[in-house]
Structure 1
């Protein structure tokens, strides 16, 4: 069992702090009943990397739909928005894929965070998210928490999308640097090819994370969801704009990287053609003396040049002359 904390927004209660922590499902039920009775505040449950059955107690208290419980405990969900009916107004589940850049491995890594909204409660589940929920909690002040559970949803999405925008900008710079490297005269191909495929993997990770999240976030502020108050939709619309910006930036970077890859392959092909021409030219230069030497090395009895006093220097002069003519021709044609 992993750590579970249940912050309850104080609202009209006597607790002077914005949140009060209670440890388990039974206490969660009491806090939720108090929030519903007072008509103010909400309960926030956070669970890190739950396994099968870890959320069973909370599922009963929060009246979670079985499909929602399955998604929360199984994980590996694509970014999506789901609505589930229930006795207390139902719930809304949103899943997202936080990203971070690992400098030590020069790779984009993705985690997972799921947020479930209820009438007076919110449940967050995270896996390998590098503290997304904790950072979201740090951004939420007393006034913003007054918006209810939707404030938590906005806080989590805001942290996730801000990371999208930042990493998308870094990838743009990396691809621009790679583009300059490809067209550099010092580019020899091997290291550049590896860098192209490494960046391709990073960009694809970002595309898989950012692009599918655009539509769920748009639905949050455009659709008439009872669990998302009008005051929160203005903030969610801003997050949706940033998510769209990040997705478009990543897709543009992906296209640019594809163009850079094609240009790099063309450059490699031209370099290989140049190498092949040089090899062919030098091979032709080597063939000329080989042919002449081969002819006069057959040792037939009746070969006039064999008895000629100047036959040997004449053969050498012929070899040199033909080689020089060929070399000059190859230089003019650009083969050498």
Structure 2
């Protein structure tokens, strides 16, 4: 399904979370430490500055909307609060301000949720996994050197009528400045919290496709190594990717029914009518990424079987070569053993050239055995 791509405008429409995301969470953090952003959008445009207190964010939004209405407009707006791995105390403070359902709070604090979409009264709770390759720029070294090729994080979203709360665990939020928009002139955020949720979901699913493509290329490299004659093979590389693929499947596969449920939910909401086709597009891309990852998983399973067979054949060939050399070494041992028995009636013992004859016999028999093994490709 083709999509039109347009930049989000103006330039400061979506604040960047990349810099803040690189900072690892510290223990005993204050509420200010877990806040990435707290800002207001009016008609899709972010108001200048950041809100210092989340507690009065909705009141500030309603005040801005009331001022715009007095000027004759019909504005729509919402609050975006972005958090980084909050604990229970942080989320209970948020719940008091935004009236977030208690069950949502439990899931947010616990984290490690499956991708899902749930509704609680007039609120929607979404969980998506972020998937990134640990080394996009040096793909050739990723299989050989990396101990964890795929990095999985978690992004949760709580959507209300006038707010969206995003919570990230072990991942930065995607950069939304370059995300596509609904039309040439309207940013995605003009559609309210659902528009921002779509932009985040679309960016995360695009990361799935990039990771799936990188994974497929690494599998191509392994296939070439496995099926190249006389090549050195490290089965650990295959098992490493197999493990990472399984983790990636756990992150991607459950998202398909979750997005299908979400699209059904949008049919019952007037504000989601315009975004329904775009969420279907996200679902299409997720299915493509899932199929690609499943294909790579099947290829890796076949590679494991092929690698085990190749190693077994190599071991058989090595054992055959060792047996041939042992057989060649047994010939002079046999001759020496016969002439070392010291019986009295052994004519060769009194022969002047008996010693040299025995050595020559050994050499001739060893050469004959070597030639026989060589003809049968044992050596």
Residue 96, structure 1, aligned to residue 138, structure 2: no
Partner of 2:350: 307
Contact 1:119 1:227 in 2 (8 A): no
Compute the displacement of 1:50 (Å).
Answer: 0.5
Q: Distance in 2 between matches of 1:241 and 1:249?
A: 13
Q: Distance in 2 between matches of 1:207 and 1:151?
A: 27
Structure 1 regions of 5+ residues with no counterpart? none
Per residue, is there more helix in 1 or in 2? 1
Q: Distance in 2 between matches of 1:51 and 1:279?
A: 64
Contact 1:6 1:23 in 2 (8 A): yes
Contact 1:140 1:152 in 2 (8 A): no
**What is the TM-score when the length of structure 1 is the normalising length?**
0.88
2:153 to 111, 119, 123: 111
Contact 1:47 1:125 in 2 (8 A): yes
Compute the displacement of 1:171 (Å).
Answer: 1.0
1:51-130 → structure 2 map (5 Å cutoff): 51-85=87-121, 89=122, 91-103=123-135, 106=146, 107-130=149-172
Residue 19, structure 1, aligned to residue 47, structure 2: yes
Residue 246, structure 1, aligned to residue 289, structure 2: yes
What are the Cα deviations for residues 76-120 of structure 1, in whole angstroms up to 9, with x where unaligned?
Answer: 2121122223xxx2x111111112222286421111110111122
Residues 154 and 296 of structure 1: CA distance in aligned 2, closer, same or farther (over 3 Å): same
Partner of 2:308: 265
Q: Tell me the secondary structure at the aligned position of residue 47 of structure 1.
A: strand
Q: Distance in 1 between matches of 2:64 and 2:269?
A: 18
Partner of 2:176: 136
Q: Distance in 1 between matches of 2:64 and 2:162?
A: 7
Further displaced range: 203-212 or 231-240? 203-212
Structure 2 regions of 5+ residues with no counterpart? 1-29, 70-74, 136-141
Residue 235, structure 1, aligned to residue 263, structure 2: no
What are the Cα deviations for residues 306-330 of structure 1, in whole angstroms up to 9, with x where unaligned?
Answer: 2344533432333223222221221
What are the Cα deviations for residues 150-195 of structure 1, in whole angstroms up to 9, with x where unaligned?
Answer: 1111011111001110111111111112111112234122xx3232
Residues 61 and 226 of structure 1: CA distance in aligned 2, closer, same or farther (over 3 Å): farther
Q: Distance in 2 between matches of 1:282 and 1:234?
A: 71
Contact 2:61 2:78 in 1 (8 A): yes
Q: Relative contact order (C-alpha < 8 Å, sep 6+): which is higher? A: 2
Q: Distance in 1 between matches of 2:228 and 2:113?
A: 42
Contact 1:117 1:227 in 2 (8 A): no
**What is the TM-score when the length of structure 2 is the normalising length?**
0.78
Contact 1:207 1:251 in 2 (8 A): yes
Q: Distance in 2 between matches of 1:242 and 1:74?
A: 28
Aligned length: 324
Contact 1:118 1:227 in 2 (8 A): no
Q: C-alpha root-mean-square deviation of aligned residues, in Å?
A: 2.4
Residues 171 and 140 of structure 1: CA distance in aligned 2, closer, same or farther (over 3 Å): closer
